[in-house]
Amino acid sequence: MTDTIAISQHEAVGWIEIDREQKANALNLDSLKALDQAIEVYRNDESVRCIVITGKGGKAFCAGADIAYYVDIEPLQALAFMQYAQTVLAKLEELPKPVIAAVNGYALGGGMELSLACDIRIASENAIFGLPEVNLGLFPGWGGTQRLPRAVGLSVAKTMILTGSRISASKAEQIGLVAGVVPPSELRAHAAGIARQLADKSPTSLMLAKQAINRAYDTDLRTGQQLEAVQLALVYSGRDAQEGINAFMENRKPQYTGA
């Protein structure tokens, strides 16, 4: 797409690769805009049913915001940049398609926040996670103070955010931040395998299940259950549900169309 964000499609899986290897795949305003464009491309492409985000090379998934952008920045410029970054990550989180973060190497600051906006996170054994902004006299501003507590709980999140400490891939798996850890050489294939598995599902059921999870997460159980029931009723109104049931009864693989 640009010289900072590369996109490619393999069957029904769309890939987004941050291509700023010389900057540890850190994101500046231009690369954020390119990421925004890539998200919109895949949102509107019905042939893409799952998305994988990763970083170029083996050292970094994304080292966060490019610090050079913050030199002599005015407060209102900082506010605009933060709000735009939050908007881009919210678009990613709210995509009607599942998004996998294949974390290869460092996921720091905005890079970790980018991974938190994805539905599924898997990591290579050399991955390192952290929100080190406090070490620069700052704190996370791309949603990290909100999404990390929801992912791992208040105590762990506060420890990471307030100390700026980093954790290994194995520790990230222990606390539930990532769903799995694999050798670096196997990460892309592992991510592709999960993505293909998701791409074989009904796009409608995945979309509505994702919405039910995201929208009900901060509500009480009863309200969440009501939303779940409504979303499932919407699934039943489409043809994919009947196709799935018929395929099961006929002992064959379902052919989902998203209808």
- Judged by DSSP in three states, 229 sits in helix
* β-pair partners for 51: 14, 99
CA–CA separation, 79 and 244 (whole Å): 47
Provide the strand spans (E) within the chain. Answer: 5-10, 13-18, 50-55, 60-62, 99-103, 106-108, 120-124, 128-130, 166-168, 180-182
**Tokens at residue 105, please?**
């190497």
DSSP characters over 170-225: HHHHHTTSSSEEE-GGGHHHHHHHHHHHHHTS-HHHHHHHHHHHHHHTTS-HHHHH
| Residue from 133, 173, 186, 250 carrying the catalytic annotation | 133
Query: Would residue 113 show up in a list of annotated catalytic residues for this protein?
Result: yes
**CA nearest neighbour of 211 among 241, 229, 231, 194:** 231
HSE (side-chain half, CA atoms, 13 Å) at 31: 26
Collapsing DSSP states into helix, strand and coil, what is residue 104? Answer: coil
Angle between helices 144-152 and 154-163 (to 10 degrees): 140
Is residue 133 part of the annotated active site? The answer reads yes
Catalytic residue among 94, 113, 173, 243: 113
Question: Which residues participate in catalysis according to the annotation?
Answer: 113, 133
